[in-house]
Amino acid sequence: MASAPRTLDLLAAGAGVAAAVLGAGLGELTAAVVAPSASPFAVIGGGMIDIAPPWGKDLAISLFGTNDKAALLVGIAILLLAVAAAAGVLERRRPPWGRMILAGLGVVGAVVSMTRADADVLSPLPSFVAGAVAVIVGALLIARLRRPADAAGTATAPETPGPTRRNVLVLSGLAVVAGALAAVGSAAVRGGAQAATVVRSALRLPTPATTTPVPATAELGIDGLAPVITPSADFYRIDTALVVPQVDLSSWSLRIHGLVEEEVVVTWDDLVALPQRETVATLVCVSNEVGGDLIGTARWLGIPIRDLLARAKPTADADMVLSHSIDGFTASTPLEALTDERDALLAIGMNGEPLPIEHGFPVRMVVPGLYGYVSATKWVTELEVTQYAVAEGYWTSRGWSARGPVKPASRIDVPRAGARVAAGSTVIAGVAWHNHVGVAGVEVQIDDGAWIPAKLATAISADTWVQWSVPWDATSGTHTIRCRATSATGETQTEQRAAPAPDGATGWDELTLTVA
């Protein structure tokens, strides 16, 4: 008896998925061996990040926060499996169109891989492997689901007897298992091949020539309040790198060029031989929503960028520095922000240790007062002195504002939104910042009452956030609490709500809670 078309379609869809899983797994394994940055998933994901509009980036970060990359990879996997399932059905019904779709996925991955900044001659190979394996395995499996034909092309036997269907099911399962094992193997190979991680663990940082002291009174010691220095493991990470670059110290160099009188090239040994400065600075992502946690403060060790720019001697018509990452990301930073008195660093250390790999090892930029998308380039390899009229950074070319100064803001950490608080004496506390300007005061409003001045901890500097607190005699009922900061220049945080795009979110942080 002929098999029901629905059953055949389900088997074909499963075969298409199995072929894609095996192809993807072997493609990832190939990438791990010959071209780690050309992982098929990372290539496609990077391409999607590149073409994403500002609202798309904002939506992803607002929904998933620092898990945005994992969410993107899961989304890509789901999309590719759906396409593979459709290709399997199409291959059974209208061959060779299903094979062409699977082959097209491999070709697209290979083409996109060649557009990446770190592409080389082997970059297309993992995607080609993924596509070729998917085509071959898919064709072999789905061929078993079609009726045999005589020389004239007329079907001569019923479609797919039971044992053949079971064979297709078993073989599809084996392909899925093999693809999963190949993916696990690729992760193991990458882990064993991450030379930068090994080098970093053995690296000893030079002693800083100057440091920024952290007063004991910078910390209020309130449970639930963000610590004034953010542990490296808790520091937010937002960038475009789906595969974290592994940079070889022996070949790393920084090139300063463009509108300069003298091009300068600095190696790692050159950099660590220079007098180091340890400073404390707060970094904030432009995608940080009001009350969000895409912000952190760390001790940074490095070289003032102005010292290296002084060697290169920017010309009078230069007004911007376009920094380049090894992964192709660029940021457009105002030249004056890198040459004024602020501690803009080429950082090599974070919280007393070499930079974590995911935070830019071996060298990244730290520029107080600017959102990260125009200043905090990780894995930096070039500083191109240029003009805003001539060049744009990665995100500014996608609609974000050109200069990105941080706006005054504050956040409530204690109590948490939706919390149940016991009536009586308690505390409201949080952090406030206006990077490179400083915070003069914070006020808290409970329900629609008068604004209450908060007690400020001692600020480390104008480049860091500051903790604040207000005692509260909480009464039973539901209450709304909001806060606002005033900067050292007298600018008060605006009540007007605005989304992060194109130049940073605004509004007062507000929460509602119940007092029992």
Same domain, 386 and 436: no
Same domain, 357 and 498: no
Do the domain assignments include residue 209? no
Q: What is the DSSP letter of 154?
A: -
Same domain, 149 and 259: no
Same domain, 155 and 37: yes
pLDDT (0 to 100) of residue 477: 95
Q: Phi, psi (5° rounding) for residue 325?
A: -95, 160
Do the domain assignments include residue 352? yes
CATH number at residue 278: 3.90.420.10
Same domain, 295 and 418: no
Do the domain assignments include residue 205? no
192 pLDDT exceeds 60?
no
Convert the pLDDT of each residue in 207-260 to its tens digit.
999 999 999 999 999 999 999 999 999 999 999 888 888 898 989 999 999 999
Q: What does the angle CA 426 – CA 431 – CA 436 come to, to the nearest 5 degrees?
A: 155
- List of residues 6+ apart from 16 with CB closer than 8 A: 84, 85, 86, 87, 88, 89, 91, 98, 102, 138, 142
Same domain, 394 and 413: no
Q: What is the mean pLDDT of the chain?
A: 90
SS3 277: strand
Q: In this structure, what token pair is assigned to residue 224?
A: 């639930």
- Of the chain, the percentage scoring pLDDT greater than 90 comes to 72
Same domain, 161 and 32: yes
Same domain, 252 and 310: yes
pLDDT (0 to 100) of residue 193: 54
Do the domain assignments include residue 26? yes
Do the domain assignments include residue 70? yes
Same domain, 178 and 46: yes
Same domain, 374 and 458: no
Q: Say how far residue 373 (Cα) sits from the centre of its chain.
A: 11
CB 431 within 8 Å of CB 226 = yes
Do the domain assignments include residue 168? yes
Nearest to 245 by CA among 76, 60, 394, 38: 38
What's the average model confidence in pLDDT over 389-418? 94
**Which range of residues forms the domain containing residue 121?**
5-193
Check residues 273 and 69 and name the one with the higher pLDDT: 273
Same domain, 278 and 329: yes
When pLDDT is cut at 50, 70 and 90, the band that residue 48 belongs to is confident
Number of domains in the chain: 3
Whole-number Cα distances in Å, 95 to 98, 99, 135, 166, 407? 6, 7, 12, 22, 58
Same domain, 10 and 154: yes
Report field, pTM of the whole predicted structure over 0.85: no
Do the domain assignments include residue 158? yes
Do the domain assignments include residue 207? no
Residue 323's DSSP bridge partners are 331, 383
